[in-house]
Amino acid sequence: MIGLLEGEPDLPLPAGVARALSAALRAGKTRYSSSSGLPELRAAVAARLRRRNRLAVGPEGVLITNGAKQAIYEALQAVAGPGDDVLIPSPCWVTFPESVRLAGARPVLVPMPSGSLDVGRLARALTGRARAVVINTPNNPTGAVYPEGVLRELVRFAARAGLFIVSDEAYEALIYDGARHVSAGALGPEAARRTLTVGTFSKTYSMTGLRVGYLAGPAEVVAATGRIHGHLTGNVNTLAQWAALAALDVPEAELARRRAALQRRRDLAWSLASRLFPCDKPQGGLFVFADARAWLHPGLRDSATLARFLLEKARVAVVPGSACGREGWLRFSFSGPERLIREGFARIARVTQG
């Protein structure tokens, strides 16, 4: 079985992070931290966001969470509830609609052109009950990186409509071909007041199992979210927080090498996928999103059935586009070794072209 499912880079944990994790354990740093996170880590995340993302945020505006997933859940618990709507550009990460539902609100999926964010479509989908819009750049599953001009248009729209922006930036360090990441919350005072930025250590540093992410934004909203967090979790694993603090000191040259390795895998996966399906070349992230509608027929009626067919006949696991809000498409991860990427697409080619 070959899994082209999850966005989990198999690159090794950076040596400095491993040393910090071991040292924290030997030093007995296994007790509670503040429920909002180690003060040292909150301050370091805030400093990084000011320096790299140009977000006007201090330690009081940072909450350390169990990965980006918990940050998104808690942000939506804080800003939306029963009777509210939350706009989600589609295709989207599978957890966005479910996090909205867990808050008691209604997800409103807004179909987008391939690889882009059309703010006009969001405006046309606006309801009187809308409280927030959730975006993801680089996007999972499409790999699109939203340009600054589009994000500025989004901020103006959110200001007119009175919406919060929940901006999931989990893949911000995994951007290819010289594309530029822009944080929506950095685009002026209005953006700063309305944007809750979500980040994670999982993808950049191969720390998926350590479960360290963060929420950053207006201090009063983050404080409210922190009260929810304190009752849900207490604090994120203390050892993992010390490891995350060390991750922020990983040299830029090492991060560049990791990004280059993933870009090579992106190039390989896209070249192989594009021989079988129409698909855009992803600018960032860990996925190729492919249009498989030409392969659908009465026996393979939808993307879930097609994904099951590939699982059973090719022994390759992929995500159906319906899980991402785009029927007829398939999502392929390129986070694994190149040999498995080659073999996975070779198997798919044999069963689809034979």
Do 69 and 232 form a contact (C-beta atoms < 8 A)? Answer: no
Beta strand segments in 213-274, E: 213-216
Asked whether the predicted pLDDT for residue 264 surpasses 90, the reply is yes
Q: What is the pLDDT of residue 354?
A: 62
Domain boundary among 228, 247, 266: 247
Across residues 286-291, what is the average pLDDT?
A: 98
Asked whether the predicted pLDDT for residue 315 surpasses 90, the reply is yes
pLDDT tens for 180-233 read 999 999 999 999 999 999 999 999 999 999 999 999 999 999 999 999 999 999
Percent of the chain with pLDDT over 70: 100
Q: Is the dihedral of CA 295, 298, 299, 300 positive or negative?
A: positive
**59 and 165 in a common domain:** yes
**197 and 48 in a common domain:** yes
Q: Model confidence at 352, in pLDDT bands (50, 70, 90)? A: confident
Q: Is 256 exposed, middle or buried (0-12, 13-18, 19+ CB in 10 A)?
A: exposed
Strands 329-333 and 287-291: antiparallel
Q: Which of 112-116, 237-241, 242-246 is predicted least confidently?
A: 112-116
pLDDT tens for 94-117 read 999 999 999 999 999 999 998 899
Q: What is the pLDDT of residue 322?
A: 97
Domain boundary among 192, 221, 247: 247
Angle at 182 between CA 178 and CA 183, to 5 degrees: 150
Longest CA–CA span in the chain (Å) reads 62
Across residues 54-79, what is the average pLDDT?
A: 97
**273 and 224 in a common domain:** no
* Domain containing residue 175: CATH number: 3.40.640.10
Percent of the chain with pLDDT over 90: 98
Asked whether the predicted pLDDT for residue 32 surpasses 70, the reply is yes
Asked whether the predicted pLDDT for residue 76 surpasses 80, the reply is yes
Q: How far is CA 248 from the centre of its chain?
A: 19
**235 and 123 in a common domain:** yes
**239 and 142 in a common domain:** yes
Q: What is the pLDDT of residue 237?
A: 97
Q: What is the DSSP letter of 52?
A: I
**21 and 6 in a common domain:** no
C-alpha–C-alpha distance, residues 303 and 296, integer Å: 8
Asked whether the predicted pLDDT for residue 353 surpasses 90, the reply is no
**264 and 204 in a common domain:** no
Q: Is 275 exposed, middle or buried (0-12, 13-18, 19+ CB in 10 A)?
A: exposed
Do 8 and 337 form a contact (C-beta atoms < 8 A)? Answer: no
- Residue 204's alpha-carbon distances to 39, 77, 139, 213, 286, in angstroms, are 22, 27, 15, 11, 11
Q: What is the pLDDT of residue 57?
A: 97
Across residues 57-70, what is the average pLDDT?
A: 98
Q: What is the pLDDT of residue 86?
A: 98
Q: What is the pLDDT of residue 94?
A: 96
**Nearest residue to 80 via CA among 17, 145, 8, 166:** 166
**201 and 89 in a common domain:** yes
Q: What is the pLDDT of residue 331?
A: 98
Domain boundary among 179, 213, 247: 247
Q: Is 308 exposed, middle or buried (0-12, 13-18, 19+ CB in 10 A)?
A: middle
**257 and 243 in a common domain:** no
Strands 85-90 and 62-65: unpaired
In this structure, which long-range contacts are made by residues 205-210, counting pairs with CB atoms below 8 Å and at least 24 apart in sequence?
205/13, 205/14, 205/17, 205/247, 205/250, 206/9, 206/10, 206/11, 206/12, 206/13, 206/14, 207/13, 207/17, 207/240, 207/243, 207/244, 207/247, 208/8, 208/67, 210/21, 210/237, 210/240, 210/243, 210/244
C-alpha–C-alpha distance, residues 171 and 28, integer Å: 32
pLDDT tens for 36-57 read 999 999 999 999 999 999 999 9
Number of domains in the chain: 2
Beta strand segments in the chain, E: 2-3, 62-65, 85-90, 106-111, 130-136, 164-168, 195-200, 213-216, 287-291, 316-317, 319-320, 329-333
Q: Is 328 left (phi over 0), alpha (psi -120 to 50) or beta?
A: left
* Domain containing residue 313: CATH number: 3.90.1150.10
**Nearest residue to 88 via CA among 61, 113, 106, 68:** 106
**300 and 175 in a common domain:** no
Q: What is the pLDDT of residue 100?
A: 98
Give the range of the structural domain holding residue 234, as residue numbers without chain letter: 15-247
**207 and 119 in a common domain:** yes
Across residues 156-160, what is the average pLDDT?
A: 98
**257 and 132 in a common domain:** no
